[in-house]
Amino acid sequence: MSKTTSRFGRSIKPTLQKADRDIVALGIAVAAVILFVGTGGSLMPQIVASWMGRGVAPDLALTNALFLNIALLIFGWRRYKDLRREVQERKSAEARARDLAERDPLSGCLNRRSGPPAIDNLIAESQTAGADVAVLMIDIDNFKQINDLNGHHIGDRVLATIAERIEAQLPQDSVLVRIGGDEFACAFPFQLHARDRVDSTVDAIIRSVSNSITHEDATIDATLSIGIARSGREADGTTPLGAERLLHRADIAMYHAKKRGRNRYFWFEHQMEDELRFRNEIEAGIREGLKNGEFVPFYEQQIDLESGRLVGFEMLARWHSQTYGVVAPNIFIPVAEDIDLIGELSEQLIRKALKDALQWDPAITLSVNISPLQLRDPWFAQKLLHLLVESGFPPARLEIEITESCLHENIGAVRSIISSLKNQGIRVSLDDFGTGYSSLSQLRSLPFDRLKIDRSFVTEISKAEVGSELLLAIISLGRGLSLPVTAEGIENGEVLEKLKGLGEIKGQGYLYGRPENAADTAARLDKLGLLVKVPSGAIEAPVDTISETLRKAG
């Protein structure tokens, strides 16, 4: 197996050098030498003897020919040396140009163009030696954030350091490629029965990159997601795959690792391809659905447990997809987040929900869920306010639900958004409380209006062996922080009865019915005498009210 030509992988074969001129000059020099040996051997002693006055001078023409021969010899030799130097220079210029064309200047790795042929060479060599090749696709998690927070020059240093750390863990005959941006690929041979050696190499790469990178004053913690594909015959005996197909497979497995929470690796499996196809269809469906208004709000009742009164609704998104029917939010919200359409999607839903809720009794509140990504948008509070003003919906009737996972994202930004929402009179509750890692000091420092206890704690209280101690502790924590609580996921009367004895709490759950669409919700409210008929036109707020409210919002 050939040796690597540089620390970051072998080059593809260099093109052949032409040394024709070199050979011609060498030929002239050799001919001149032969001529000199042939004629000079007898003539030279005669010339020297005549110069010393000890003999007859040789024929003048022959003497001149000999001197011409010597001149030719010197000229040929000089020319030969010049040409050799020129060829050397040309060779190294070509090597430099090839390097520039084949290598990524930042990391020194092979680039997207030269990488796959080098992997193909490696596969061919390994096949001859009876080994398989593991092809890894490596992506740095959240690299955009590293760049945004620290600037591009630190981002570049991080890339170069990560390339070095990956390379340090790779076996001798490896190829390392920078595919582009924050993506690297590498390939190395392994014996089929020693697949665990690939696992331990990948483990070592992940571990070594997870050590903090310090540059200038910045300390960066980076993690990797890695997908692995292997060359070699398929189980069905079909021909081994080439570099491009293997890279594609490794990419699919890497994507799978991202979806499973990043900072991990997966070997490619065929069903991952189907998942990806499904995911791409969902992505395209969301884009289309947004254009066609296929996302609609459903409403889940919120009840005051003591009085049993209906006090509000939580809006839950549903997708009326032409292909899949009614789709639940846990399928499409994460995809909308990934493709950066969550803001637009949420805006469409909230606009519809505000319009629906204007028909409800003014005492009934509306809660909407907000994705952590929306809280990164510095204009989020303004956008929401604009929607409120546009619809004429009173901010005091609106409650925003943010999940606990938001709190470790960027606590400063979250605090400032919560404060501006509250300044407008919008209330903010902490959803799914108990599933995240919010600390007591965070809870105390953020001005929440309510805690929503995750349903996993609520359903537990009907189990004899667990009981209600944990739930009680959460409720008294809320009391200590002066935060009212809502219990989610009340599914039966037994849970409800236990909750009723635990103090003043709101509740919601399937016991009161499944989330319903706008029409069914309106019908339910109508029966309860809680529907107001909004005169048409009242929904549109006057323009001067909009500008006045936006002005106050600063």
Whole-number Å distance between alpha carbons of 520 and 515: 9
Q: Which does 505 bind (CB under 5 to 8 A by kind): Mg ion, ligand C2E, none?
A: none
The token duo for 331 is 């399928």
Residue closer to Mg ion, measured from CB, 266 or 313: 313
Q: Identify the residue among 242, 489, 503, 513 touching ligand C2E (CB under 6 A).
A: 489
- Give how far the C-alpha of residue 415 lies from the chain's centroid of Cα atoms, to the nearest Å: 26
Residue closer to ligand C2E, measured from CB, 250 or 310: 310
Residue closer to ligand C2E, measured from CB, 209 or 370: 370
Q: Does 328 bind ligand C2E (CB under 6 A)?
A: yes
Residue closer to Mg ion, measured from CB, 108 or 434: 434
Residue 475, C-beta contacts closer than 8 angstroms, at least 6 positions apart: 453, 485, 502, 503, 505
Count residues contacting ligand C2E (CB under 6 A)? 24
Site for ligand C2E in 116-135 (CB under 6 A): none
Residue closer to ligand C2E, measured from CB, 141 or 432: 432
CB of 451 to Mg ion, least distance (A): 11
Q: Does 468 bind ligand C2E (CB under 6 A)?
A: no
Q: Does 510 bind ligand C2E (CB under 6 A)?
A: yes
What is the Cα gyration radius of the chain? 38
CB of 327 to ligand C2E, least distance (A): 10
Whose CA is closest to 420, among 388, 464, 391? 388
Whose CA is closest to 394, among 420, 427, 352, 371? 427
Residue closer to ligand C2E, measured from CB, 67 or 510: 510
Whose CA is closest to 159, among 108, 121, 193, 203? 108
Evaluated on CA atoms 436, 441, 447, 451, the torsion sign reads positive
Q: Does 414 bind ligand C2E (CB under 6 A)?
A: no
CB of 366 to ligand C2E, least distance (A): 12
266: which strand partners?
A: 227
Binding site for Mg ion (CB under 5 A): 369, 401, 431-432, 488
Residue closer to Mg ion, measured from CB, 102 or 404: 404
* Span of 75-83, 96-104, 165-173, 487-495 interacting with ligand C2E by CB under 6 A: 487-495
Site for ligand C2E in 257-296 (CB under 6 A): none
Q: Identify the residue among 103, 509, 518, 525 touching ligand C2E (CB under 6 A).
A: 509
Q: Which does 328 bind (CB under 5 to 8 A by kind): ligand C2E, Mg ion, none?
A: ligand C2E
The letter for the amino acid at 305 is: L
Residue closer to ligand C2E, measured from CB, 164 or 516: 516
Whole-number Å distance between alpha carbons of 183 and 132: 23
Whole-number Å distance between alpha carbons of 267 and 227: 6
Residue closer to ligand C2E, measured from CB, 231 or 369: 369
Measured from the Cβ of residue 160, the count of other Cβ atoms closer than 10 Å reads 17
| Residue 434 region by backbone torsions, left for phi larger than 0, else alpha for psi between -120 and 50, else beta | left
**String of DSSP letters for 342-364:** HHHHHHHHHHHHHHHHTTB-TT-
Q: Which does 375 bind (CB under 5 to 8 A by kind): Mg ion, ligand C2E, none?
A: none
The letter for the amino acid at 537 is: G
Q: Identify the residue among 269, 304, 347, 491 touching ligand C2E (CB under 6 A).
A: 491
Site for ligand C2E in 339-398 (CB under 6 A): 346, 349, 369-371
Report the DSSP pairing between strands 365-370 and 398-403: parallel
Whole-number Å distance between alpha carbons of 553 and 213: 41
Helix axes 270-292, 329-338, angle to 10 degrees: 90
Q: In a 3-state reduction of DSSP, which class is residue 74?
A: helix
Q: Which does 333 bind (CB under 5 to 8 A by kind): Mg ion, ligand C2E, none?
A: ligand C2E
Per-position x/- string for 225-264, each x denoting binding to ligand C2E as judged by CB under 6 A, each - no binding: ----------------------------------------
Q: Does 300 bind ligand C2E (CB under 6 A)?
A: yes
Residues in the chain: 554
Q: In a 3-state reduction of DSSP, which class is residue 214?
A: strand
Which positions touch ligand C2E (CB under 6 A)? 300, 316-317, 328-330, 333, 346, 349, 369-371, 401, 431-432, 455, 488-491, 508-510, 515
